[in-house]
Structure 1
């Protein structure tokens, strides 16, 4: 790929050739000085001086006296040896402990390479000489130097250019538009603003997963409801309000959803419970990007077409806990769970939160 707008200056020099070394040897024999040779070859005097020093060796005469002389072949041999030794050397054999940890976390716990690198640096205290950066780790995976392969990295193998197509909105927002959402929620400055979506299973009559993601901490909750009916979503929030009591509207200050039929009663029920519901613009899933990211990670374990009613509650909790304990670069590789707990403790006891999470 060519870059027209760049600030990198092109290097104008080139290394001495074998023919030039031969000329240097002959001119030295004829008594030329360093500057005279440089002028003849159109080179810097410093370049000639270094080459002469590089190729000069001590010789012995028949009377056992010694003298120094430049040889083109010697200069070339020393140059090639130096070139072979220059450049940064691979640390592959020096970071074995780090690589074993990375392979386990990526293959078994489904961490990303960046999460591994950040966690090792921030939490485990690996020094720079005992680990590599994210870019190097990706490069080694691509070269096949680890047990991990690109096929084991879900995002890397499925990213592809997308064709964008303008769509005309046919759906009107079912309640308050996201444009009315306060800046404290938009900027993630205040705790308690959530995004919501549903994940369907194999059949329309199957159970449905409801995913909730808190915008500030990225903490996620997963609930199972009987069907994709608005009444089921309404009943879920009524149940959560019964558990949290008067602290409900401090934990759930607002919830943002799309315009799906299952959320048609969301704004109304939240308003009755002392909270606020907001709706994104039609065909604008990016406006609930935090929740969409959570759904993408969950789909690694609960793919489309899998019957949700046949998934055990323990398995769903395990996926939820994996998501919340994942190290995040945005939090300097702390987890969402750590951030969420520090916020929720100012509102209610952790035991109350555990009751909420038991509703899976």
Structure 2
């Protein structure tokens, strides 16, 4: 005879055992309701109702419906055979090939590959897997892309922001910068930094600039870390926009490196306002720091910058400005920047 009472208490979130199914069968014969049975088993009433539906059989030519614990257990075990993690790797091989191609040839991230495929209409939602799944495939070794190929995955570590005051601030503090600039809704606010190569001997440096709203990125080669070289490079960039330079460069935010010691002098030459981040707090100009990390894929730390030609530097800049960005709705920074310039020229005209 079947055992009536389970020897173990039912745990929340666990599947019903065969002993509990026997209890359900017995209590139904006694005329108990599903709610009362659920109270005895310590599970949800819907769990009991679903189990009754699963294990009910017809008797006497379909005139009688009765729950059988063995039938319920057999249905449960059959359903469990198909209960496992399924991979869509083979069914969506065309999309996987698309991801691998753009990852290695265009240096796109997995997230960009996923959303750009949807944005361009190359694939439908049913033909792709999501970004999280792609990273899971990389972890499992199901892609030709390994974790070591993902630039940020193995070395990124969060750091606690600390504001130290043991270094002289070269000019107007970032605390004086208008709060609306943080929202990135207005065009014309830039961040500036310097990327160096080899520390031994005389080597070139790269003055890097980024517009906060559009993520337009500029790289200007300059000799060494001379403050006069920084000023000359900025003058050349501003000269490219002629009479519109004050509309394109409303503010510039940088750090307190000695190479920027003359930068506050731009206040006297134009309407551009210069702000300096707190000492040792690079997170206050996170956009430029993040993009400097991107170019380290091509110019590793310690590698001499003068070993790269102007054409190679230009190609890196073009790649950065042609990379679809999640924060821009997977649009390209170059296009959004040009749209903003067209708007400025139209208003002035």
With the length of structure 1 as denominator, give the TM-score of the two structures.
Answer: 0.79
- Give the Å deviation of 1:17: 2.5
Residues 1:178 and 2:179 aligned together: no
The SS at the match of 1:277 is strand
Compute the RMSD of aligned alpha carbons: 3.4
**CA–CA distance in 2 between the matches of 1:340 and 1:36?**
68
Output the TM-score relative to the length of structure 2: 0.81
Rounded to whole Å, the distance in 2 between the matches of 1:183 and 1:255 is 14
Q: Deviations over 1:57-76 (max 9, x none)?
A: 8799xxxxxx9997655443
User: Are 1:234 and 2:228 an aligned pair?
Assistant: no
2:258 aligned to which of 256, 261, 264: 261
Query: Alpha carbons of 1:69 and 1:279: their partners in 2 closer, same or farther (altered >3 Å)?
Result: closer
CA distance in 2, matches of 1:107, 1:309: 26
What does 1:6-85 correspond to in 2, within 5 Å?
12=12, 14-21=14-21, 32-33=29-30, 35=32, 42-43=40-41, 47=48, 50-51=51-52, 54=55, 56=57, 73-85=70-82
Corresponding residue to 1:98 among 86, 95, 104 = 95
Given that 2:253 and 2:285 are in contact with CA atoms closer than 8 Å, whether structure 1 keeps it comes out as yes
Give the conservation status (yes or no) of the 8 Å contact 1:208–1:228. Answer: yes
Q: Deviation per CA, 1:305-360: give whole Å up to 9, x if none.
A: 111111011211111111111111111111111110101123459xxxxxxxxxxx
Give the Å deviation of 1:282. 1.0
Q: Name 1:6's counterpart in structure 2.
A: none
The separation in 1 between residues aligned to 2:46 and 2:290, in whole angstroms, is 61
Q: Following superposition of structure 1 onto structure 2, how do residues 157-168 of structure 1 map, counting pairs within 5 Å?
A: 157-160=154-157, 162=159, 164=160, 168=164
Return the match for 2:184 from 182, 188, 191.
188
Per the alignment, residue 301 of structure 1 pairs with: 298
**Residue number in structure 2 paired with 1:169:** 165
Q: In the alignment, does 2:181 pair up with 1:197?
A: no
- Helix, strand or coil: the match of 1:92? coil
Measure the CA separation in 2 of the matches of 1:260 and 1:117: 39
Choose which of 144, 147, 163 in structure 1 pairs with 2:141.
144
**Aligned partners of 1:121 and 1:304: how far apart in 2?**
35
CA contact (8 A) 2:24 2:69 kept: yes
Q: Residues 117, 154 of structure 1: CA spacing in aligned structure 2 closer, same or farther, 3 A cutoff?
A: same
Residue of structure 1 in register with 2:243 after alignment: 246
How much does 1:283 deviate? Answer: 1.1
Aligned residues of 1:185 and 1:193 also touching (Cα < 8 A): yes
What are the Cα deviations for residues 30-73 of structure 1, in whole angstroms up to 9, with x where unaligned?
x945639997994569838945863748799xxxxxx9997655
Return 67-76 or 267-276, whichever deviates more.
67-76
Secondary structure class of the residue paired with 1:256: strand
Moved more, 243-252 or 84-93: 84-93
Greater shift in the superposed pair: 35-44 or 72-81? 35-44
> Structure 1: which 5+ runs fail to align?
1-9, 61-66, 350-360
Match of 1:208, SS state, is strand
> What are the equivalent positions in structure 2 for 1:122-141 lying under 5 Å apart?
122-124=119-121, 126-141=123-138
- Separation (CA, whole Å) in 1 of partners of 2:53 and 2:235: 87
Q: Is the 8 A contact 1:113 1:138 kept in 2?
A: yes
